[in-house]
Amino acid sequence: MKLRLPPASAQTIRVVMILAFATLGASCGQGQKQGGAPPPPPPTVTVATPIKRTVSDFDEYVGRFVPVDSVEVRARVSGYLDSVHFKDGQMVKKGDLLFTIDKRPFEYTLEQARANLATAKSNLAYAKSDLERGQTLVTAKTITEQIFEQRAQAFRNAQASVSGMEAALRQAELDLQFTELRAPMDGRIGDRRVSPGNLVAGGTVPTPTLLATIVSTDPIHFEFTFDEASYLRYERLAKKGRDVASRGAGVQVALKLIDEKDFKHEGRMDFVNNVIDSTTGTIRARAVFDNPNGVFTPGMFGRVRVPASPPYEALLVPDAAIGSEQTRKYVLVVGPDNKVAERFVTLGQARPGNLRVIKSGLKPDDRIIVEGLMRARAGQKVTPQEKGAKPAAPAKPTASVKTDASAKTDPAPSTSK
């Protein structure tokens, strides 16, 4: 016999079952909320200890290259320029022929000087023999003493004439030699200032004609200036037996050009001026560099690095590990309890490899955060990992309560009629 429930009772049972399932779901959700998700682990950061290294402080100055030797090639005799024997801007060796001046007038002058010398020598020979005859005659009282003295004077005049003609001959030979202008040194010559066919002035004129300029290229000087305070610092270090950039120290310096990043050219100091410029308060200094490839050109700018202290032991850290707080610099250090602390430091000069010298504020055994600075803050716990060490294996995920959203509930019993 089947029991039939009235329609109102079946509807009531359906509502009761829905409320029961809703209550069960709510209780499960509250259980999950009460249990809660595990807190995130401390952030992982990379730490490293400061690098110990022997360094020296240095100063940097801007200067320009100047030639060791520079010569203006000017005409030494006047005449018409006959030919040019070089190409503008080429390298020349000492003794190379550069210019030729028309030689014909000087050749004629040389021939005339030789003829004049021959005449003077002939007159000297006659005066000498005449004097010898007069010596015999004056002994025999055939001629008077006055005539003998006249012959002696003629002999002396003939000797002086020969000496004058010899000097004129040497001058004529020298003038002919000066018609060929040769390079007085090795170097690079500039462009010619006068074309063939032009009259050039030389000799004793006030301004002899400038024909070209030659500058030496290897080695080459680099001139720069530094202030009075730096000069005093260098001199006091030198008096303590620590030659840095004082006169005659021959200290090694480094240089870079305007398109270079590193100071890869090495040279040495060879001169510091003897006076300080009263208008600028600076003193001129000079270094010398080898230039076998001719890259350094007179007039070219560069930046020179001069040692400013004796070598000393220093602590270095990567530039990326240094933070800024207004005008102060700091690094983040991980303590023994893995808590982050802020250390204010005094910076020194930058070093190759993106390193920075730390003057004060750090200890050699401090663990500095070098990577992961954005994930750490003072007072926070972190998971430090030594720089260069293999990363730790990831932690296994913890079990969590899963809810099956697709789980089906038992359908409400249907009422049979």
Query: How would DSSP label each residue in 320-382?
Result: GG-EEETTEEEEEEE-TTSBEEEEEEEEEEEETTTEEEEEES--TT-EEEEE-GGG--TT-B-
Q: With the C-alpha atoms ordered 12, 17, 20, 25, is the resulting torsion angle positive or negative?
A: negative
| Residue 326 DSSP class | T
Q: With the C-alpha atoms ordered 9, 11, 13, 15, is the resulting torsion angle positive or negative?
A: negative
What's CA 405's distance to the chain center, in Å?
72
> Residue length, the chain?
417
Q: Could you tell me the domains of the chain?
A: 46-53+314-386 (2.40.420.20), 58-67+219-307 (2.40.30.170), 103-178 (1.10.287.470)
- Radius of gyration from C-alpha coordinates of the chain: 50
Residuewise pLDDT in 10s, the chain (417 residues): 444 545 555 555 565 566 555 555 555 555 444 555 677 888 888 998 899 988 888 889 999 999 999 999 999 999 999 999 999 999 999 999 999 999 999 999 999 999 999 999 999 999 988 888 888 887 877 878 888 888 889 999 999 999 999 999 999 999 999 999 999 999 999 999 999 999 999 877 888 999 999 999 999 999 999 999 988 888 888 777 666 666 666 788 999 999 988 889 999 988 889 899 999 999 999 999 999 988 999 999 999 998 888 888 889 999 888 888 888 899 999 988 989 998 899 998 888 888 899 988 888 888 998 888 888 888 888 888 887 555 444 444 444 334 343 434 444 444 433
Give me 21's structure tokens. 């399932």
Q: Is residue 83 within 8 Å of 198, Cβ to Cβ?
A: no
The number of helix segments (H) and strand segments (E) in the chain equals 4, 23
Query: How would DSSP label each residue in 5-56?
Result: PPHHHHHHHHHHHHHHHHHHHHHHHHHHHHH-PPPPPPPEEEEEPPEEEEE-
Nearest to 299 by CA among 63, 91, 61: 63
Q: Is residue 364 within 8 Å of 387, Cβ to Cβ?
A: no
Per-state percent for the chain, helix, strand, coil, to nearest 5: 30, 30, 40
Q: Is residue 384 within 8 Å of 45, Cβ to Cβ?
A: yes
- Quick one: pLDDT at residue 241? 66
The residue whose two tokens read 């090694």 is 252
- Per the DSSP assignment, residues forming a β-bridge with 84 are 99
DSSP three-state, residue 163? helix
Nearest to 339 by CA among 51, 58, 43: 43
How far is it, in rounded angstroms, from Cα 178 to Cα 81? 12
Amino acid, single-letter form, for residue 106: F
Q: Is residue 141 within 8 Å of 122, Cβ to Cβ?
A: no
Nearest to 197 by CA among 82, 41, 115: 82
Query: How would DSSP label each residue in 131-151?
Result: HHHHHHHHHTTSS-HHHHHHH
The residue whose two tokens read 């005409």 is 75
Give the count of beta carbons closer than 10 Å to the beta carbon of residue 146.
8
- Quick one: pLDDT at residue 225? 93
How far is it, in rounded angstroms, from Cα 302 to Cα 253? 13
Give me 242's structure tokens. 């620590």
pTM over 0.75: no
Amino acid, single-letter form, for residue 363: K
- Per the DSSP assignment, residues forming a β-bridge with 255 are 265, 304
Query: How would DSSP label each residue in 150-161?
Result: HHHHHHHHHHHH
Amino acid, single-letter form, for residue 290: D
- Per the DSSP assignment, residues forming a β-bridge with 67 are 220
- Quick one: pLDDT at residue 105? 93
- Quick one: pLDDT at residue 404? 41
- Note if the bond before 219 is cis, omega within 30 degrees: yes
